[in-house]
């Protein structure tokens, strides 16, 4: 009888361990339904295996425009602007880049702050540290107005034992109803320059998808009411070519 009870106890422990593993593989902090995007994720600088320098020229070309990496590899991408105008390097799927390009046409003064993109002034360099977790193709492009349409694009080929699924799940940003405030999270408060960086859901009135962006503020006093990490609701408008937060409140 003691042996039977012991076997039952072992069986229960195994079941609990498996349940814990399934639970751990679900949503992680932040509410995402997956642990990795289709293109990978922001990398750890301490785990960079190599550095790749990409030149960006006013001929609207990247050099190199084709890069090969291993699945799971963390790369430091150095974006060097050898031109006389502003360029940027943005990682994404082809669909995402096309959609973002349309947004940039309507809002050319947008300032980006996502980990998968860097905007570089003439004669300067910037960097992206990225881990390519999925085998397959990752696109990159310059989304400054007119540059994407002129052919400023490239591809990262990620080698692996299997190709990434075409229907890989993507994070769905919070969608604000017309006239409602947009949900977001404060990433940075820049008191000196009177700017605020917000990771936000879709901003309906600006026809803008969810992303992380730098905004100006209509009233400087708004900056003293929030701090990095705060969950907020806000409204934004386009004023004089700039994106301006006109109201901001703590999320309930």
Task: List pLDDT tens digits, range 129-140.
Answer: 999 999 999 999
CATH entry, 41-159, from 2.20.70.10, 3.40.50.1380, 2.60.40.420, 3.30.750.80: 2.60.40.420
Alpha-carbon Rg for the chain, nearest whole angstrom, is 22
Residues 6+ apart with CB under 8 A from 16: none
Q: Would the pLDDT of 172 be above 80? A: no
Instruction: Indicate the domain borders of the chain.
Output: 41-159, 182-250
> If you average pLDDT over residues 146-167, what whole number do you get?
74
pLDDT, residue 5, reads 52
191-221 pLDDT per residue, tens? 988 899 999 988 888 888 888 889 999 888 8
Measuring CA to CA, how many Å separate 107 from each of 74, 103, 119, 154? 32, 6, 15, 23
C-alpha distance from residue 185 to each of 77, 166, 230, 234 (Å): 27, 30, 6, 10
Please answer whether residues 244 and 238 qualify as being in contact, where contact means their C-beta atoms are separated by less than 8 angstroms: yes
pLDDT at 203: 87
Mean pLDDT of the chain: 79
CATH topology of domain 182-250: OB fold (Dihydrolipoamide Acetyltransferase, E2P) (2.40.50)
pLDDT at 58: 92
Q: What was the pLDDT predicted at 44? A: 94
* Average pLDDT of span 160-168: 41
């Amino acid at each position: 009888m003691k042996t039977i009870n012991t076997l039952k106890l072992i069986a229960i422990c195994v079941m609990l361990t498996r349940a814990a593993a399934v639970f751990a593989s679900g949503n992680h902090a932040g509410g995402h339904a997956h642990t990795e995007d289709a293109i990978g994720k922001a990398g750890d600088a301490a785990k960079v295996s190599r550095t790749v320098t990409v030149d960006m020229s006013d001929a609207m070309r990247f050099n190199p425009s084709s890069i090969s990496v291993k699945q799971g590899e963390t790369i430091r991408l150095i974006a060097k602007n050898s031109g006389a105008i502003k360029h940027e390097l943005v990682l994404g799927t082809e669909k995402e880049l096309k959609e973002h390009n349309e947004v940039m046409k309507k809002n050319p003064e947008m300032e980006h702050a996502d980990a998968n993109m860097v905007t570089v002034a003439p004669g300067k360099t910037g960097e992206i540290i990225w881990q390519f977790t999925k085998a397959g193709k990752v696109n990159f492009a310059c989304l400054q107005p007119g540059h994407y349409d002129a052919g400023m694009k490239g591809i990262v080929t990620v080698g692996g034992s299997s190709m990434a699924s075409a229907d890989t799940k993507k994070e769905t940003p919070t969608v604000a109803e017309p006239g409602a405030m947009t949900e977001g999270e404060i990433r940075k408060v820049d008191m000196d320059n009177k700017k605020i960086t917000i990771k936000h859901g879709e901003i309906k009135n600006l026809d803008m998808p969810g992303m992380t962006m730098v905004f100006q503020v209509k009233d400087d006093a708004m900056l003293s009411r929030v701090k990095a990490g705060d969950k907020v609701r806000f409204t934004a408008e386009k004023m004089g070519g700039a994106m301006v937060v006109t109201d901001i409140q703590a999320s309930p």
